[in-house]
Amino acid sequence: MPRKTIPEMSFPQIYPLLVAKAERKGRTKAEVDEIICWLTGYDEAALDNLLERDITYAEFFGSAPALNPDRSLITGKICGVDVATIEDPVEQNARYLDKLVDELARGRAMEKILRRSSAS
């Protein structure tokens, strides 16, 4: 079976892996959900609804209500690839999400993960 590209991957199948990554390090599903909502503009109810359907990353990000413009502040590498250099927008958004969950799992404060200034 050929390997799926990131845009073809099932978001509801990847989601539990993101939650498990955070929970292994003492973080919560609620924090992962907060990150996803910040990144995409979905609210909790919409996120829950999407997890009930078999949607791809392309559909998930393509129908996002409001991709956060501050996502461009996310820097660094994920799987050895600099997120700023990824050309495919769906793949880049998926890697942004993975990077944010990595930061959560490493114990970074939610305020810093969501690129909020302490004055906000």
| pLDDT category of residue 120 using cuts at 50, 70 and 90 | very low
Q: What is the pLDDT of residues 10-46, one digit of tens each?
A: 999 999 999 999 999 999 999 999 999 999 999 999 9
Write phi, then psi, for 7 (nearest 5 degrees).
-60, -25
- Distance (Å, whole) CA 34 – CA 32: 5
**Any idea where the domains of the chain sit in the sequence?**
6-112
Beta pairing, strands 77-78 & 81-82:
antiparallel
Residues 6+ apart with CB under 8 A from 89: 61
Tokens of 2: 């050929």
User: What number of residues does the chain have?
Assistant: 120
Query: What pTM did the predictor assign?
Result: 0.91
CATH number of the domain located at residue range(s) 6-112 in this protein: 1.10.8.290
- pLDDT exceeds 50 at position 119: no
